Amino acid sequence: MRLAGKTAVITGGTSGIGLATAALFTKEGAKVIVTGQSPESVASAQAELSSQVLAFPADVRSPEDLARLAQRVEAEFGGLDIVFANAGVAFATPLEPGDLKTYDLIMDVNVKGVFLTVQALSPIMRQGGSIILNTSWLNNVGTPGLSALSASKAAVRSFARCWGAELLARRIRVNAVSPGATNTPIHGKIGMSPEDLQAFAARMEGNIPLGRFGEANDIAQAALYLASDESTYVLGAELVVDGGFSTI
């Protein structure tokens, strides 16, 4: 029960890494609030997770939605100990033909959405809390066609350092978890054809030193470490969980 007595918000917590993290945090004793954008995903997550979890509809691009989330958490739980800013999107953005709408969507969700999430929730966090940001192996490796996605994750990595310094007076730790290629629904939304996606996955898996894709629970375990009191001397760090892909 490494999170007993703690309250956590996980954005994008209705599928993939967020859903696995919500289940693990609950098992470890936390009261968990997950957010999702669509009513269908929120209802599905609420049905799948235990009754200890509150599934809350919120778009991380909306300051109004996030303000309502903060008000609900403060009213119901009195404050907050953990934020996992996990919500994100992934699409290919090759230089040609240049899809500005896709570029804007990536930056709005992955960068502005993380900024607005922490801006809304950090005021209700208790001293000694933990903020975890979801970055990616892409911020360390140049990958053709994924420049906007990679840049968005590099921006989030910078947030971890800056906010770690900014929130230091309140003893709120800010760190990042950096997933490698992971079996989650997000890969099916990246914008590649099924054939291109299959070829990309085969190339990736062949280059991962540990010889496999990650699973959502691999990332959830890393988030648990950063959320728990076991990481009280970890600040501004990025915990890489990619099977050695970007490091070996």
C-alpha 157/C-alpha 150 separation (Å) is: 11
Alpha-carbon gap, residue 197 to 180, rounded angstroms: 16
Mean pLDDT over 196-208 rounds to 78
For residue 89, report the phi and psi dihedrals to the nearest 5 degrees: -130, 160
pLDDT at res. 187: 55
Question: Is the pLDDT reported for residue 40 higher than 70?
Answer: yes
Q: Can you tell me the distance from the alpha carbon of 164 to that of 237, in angstroms, rounded to the nearest whole number?
A: 9
| Among candidate residues 77, 20, 82, the one with its CA nearest the CA of residue 226 | 82
pLDDT of 120 higher than 70: yes
Task: Give pLDDT tens digits for 141-199.
Answer: 888 889 999 999 999 999 999 999 999 999 999 999 999 988 876 555 565 566 766 77
Average pLDDT of span 53-58: 96
**What is the value of pTM for the model shown?**
0.93
Residue type, 58: A
- Answer yes or no: is pLDDT of 66 > 70: yes
